[in-house]
Amino acid sequence: MTFSCGIDFGTTNTAAALTKNGKQPILVPLENNETTIPSALFFAADKKIYFGRQAMKMYTDGELGRCMRSLKRVLGSDLMSTGTYIYNRRTSFTEILGYFLQNVKNKLDIAAENDVDSVVLGRPVHFRDNDEAGDIRAENELRKIATNVGFKNIEFQYEPIAAAFAHENIIENEKLACVVDIGGGTSDFTILRVGKRLMSKTDRKDDILASTGVRIGGNDFDKDLSLKCFMPTFGYRTQQGGQTKYDKIIDLPISPYHTMAEWSSINSMYNYKELNAAKKMLYNAIEKEKVRRFVELIEKERGYSLMNVVENTKMKLTDVSDVKVKLDFISDSPSVTATCSDFENSLNWDIKRVFEQIDECVKQAQVKADDIELVILTGGSTEIPYIQRLVSNYFPNAELSQENKLSSVGMGLAYDSMRKYNN
C-alpha cells in the first residue's frame, strides 16, 4: 500500500490532503474535525506546545506563554538563523517551524494508519521579492524542516498551480484559466490550460503558460487596516515636542507602529529596548493618552490581541459597511470605527502591486485578459469584495470559480503527489 500527501503550509492557515494507492485525495482533519488549522503555536508555561485555534484561544484568554503566528514569512530571512527565545533558550526558527509541521505530519500518519513519507509541499512563486538567493534559501529551509519531521521524498509545487489541479475534475471542456491565489503572505498567479481530460498527464509543463507572484497577502491587508484605522488610537501619526518654546514639534517615529502591525514581527517588540523606546516616545508625546496605550501594548504583550481584532474587523467588512469595536484588552477600552471605504483606500498601494503581477503574468503567457475563460479564486483574501470586483473587471469574459478557497491548494498538491510518486 502506498501513500503520499500534499501540504499547503500557509502563512495564515494550513491544509493537508492524503492519497492512498492513487485514489481520490481526501482532506485530513488537522484540528478536531476541521480540515484547516491556523498556522499558530502557543508555548505554554507548562512547557507544552499547542497549535491552531487552541493556540490562539489560549493567548487571547490570557494564559501565560508565548504565541507565534505567520511564521512562514520568516523563511529565507535573517531571522531564520538568529532565532528567538523560548523557555529562556534561544531556539531556531527551523526548530519552531518543525514543531508545527510535525503536528501536521502526525495527523496525516494517524489518518493513513501508516508512516506517510512522500509529500508535495506548496510554495509561493516567490518566497522573497527580488531576492533570488533568499528564495532558494527559503525553499531549502522548508525542505530541511520537512526532512527533520520524517518525510523522505519531498517535492514542491507552486500554490496557484496546485489550486488549478484541484478544480480540474469538475471542468468538462478544456479552458484557458488564470489562478488568482491571494493568501496570508503572498499573492500568486498562474495562467494555464485546465480540463478533466488533462488530469491524467504526468507532465503538465506544456499546459502552464506563466506564473508570477509578489510577497503581499492578507497579513499586509491586516497591516494596512491597522495603520489606517487602529494605530492612530495608539498615537500613530501624532506628534512630539513643544515642551518648551525652543522645542520643535515633529512627528513621532512610525517604525514601531509598523512593526506592531505586522503579524510576523510583533514578538520582536517584546523586549527592554523597544519598551524603553516607547516610554521615551510617551515622555515626548503631545497626545500622551494615545501613546500610553501603545506602551501598554508592549508591557502586557497584547499585540496579537489587537491584530485579532483587526483581522476580525477585516472579515466583517466583507458583509457590512462599517464596524465599531471596543478594545477591552486596553485599560481605558478605547473604541475604534472602521469603514469599508477606509479599508479599501488603505489597500490601494498593495493592490496596485498585486495587479502589476497579474499584468506581468498575462504578458508572459502571451495572451490577453479577454482570452481568459475561467478565473480560479483561492486564498482567504479573495473573499474581499473589493478584490473580487477588481478581478472581475480585469478579466471581463471569465467565469469566476470560488470552490474551497482555504483547502483547494492542499487537495491540488495531493493530486500532484499522485503524479510525482506514481501512486
- Domain co-membership, 37 together with 129: yes
Phi, psi of 309 (to 5 degrees): -65, -40
Residue 192 maps to a domain:
no
Instruction: Quote the CA–CA distance of 291 and 401 in Å, as a whole number.
Output: 45
Instruction: Quote the CA–CA distance of 349 and 216 in Å, as a whole number.
Output: 11
Residue 116 maps to a domain:
yes
Task: Name the amino acid, one letter, at 92.
Answer: S
- Domain co-membership, 23 together with 169: yes
Q: Which domain holds residue 280?
A: 219-341
Torsion of CA 388, 394, 396, 397, to 10 degrees: -100
- Domain co-membership, 223 together with 334: yes
How far is CA 223 from each of CA 52, 64, 185, 259, 389, rounded to the nearest angstrom?
21, 26, 12, 9, 22
Query: Which of 322, 341, 360 marks a domain boundary?
Result: 341
Instruction: Quote the CA–CA distance of 247 and 240 in Å, as a whole number.
Output: 9
Helix, strand, or coil (residue 290): helix
Instruction: Quote the CA–CA distance of 316 and 304 in Å, as a whole number.
Output: 18
Residue 11 maps to a domain:
yes
Residue 107 maps to a domain:
yes
What is the bridge-based pairing of β-strands 250-251 and 239-240? antiparallel
Total count of domains within the chain? 2
- Domain co-membership, 124 together with 235: no
Instruction: Output the domain CATH number for residue 412.
Output: 3.30.420.40
Q: pTM to 2 decimals?
A: 0.89
Give the residues across from 326 on adjacent strands. Answer: 335
C-alpha grid cell for residue 62?
490570557
Looking at residue 401, its pLDDT comes to: 87
Residue 138 maps to a domain:
yes
With contact defined as beta carbons under 8 Å apart, do 40 and 69 qualify?
yes
Instruction: Quote the CA–CA distance of 164 and 188 in Å, as a whole number.
Output: 12
Give the residues across from 34 on adjacent strands. Answer: 31
Q: What is the pLDDT along the chain (423 residues), one digit of tens a residue?
A: 689 999 999 999 999 999 988 788 999 999 999 999 999 999 999 999 999 999 999 998 889 999 999 999 999 988 888 888 898 888 999 999 999 999 999 999 999 999 999 999 999 999 988 888 989 999 999 999 999 999 999 999 999 999 999 888 788 889 999 999 999 999 999 999 998 888 777 778 889 999 999 999 999 999 999 999 999 999 999 999 877 666 789 999 999 999 999 998 998 999 999 999 999 999 999 999 999 999 999 999 999 999 999 999 999 998 999 999 999 999 999 999 999 999 999 999 999 999 999 999 999 999 999 999 999 999 989 999 999 999 999 999 999 987 777 789 999 999 999 988 875
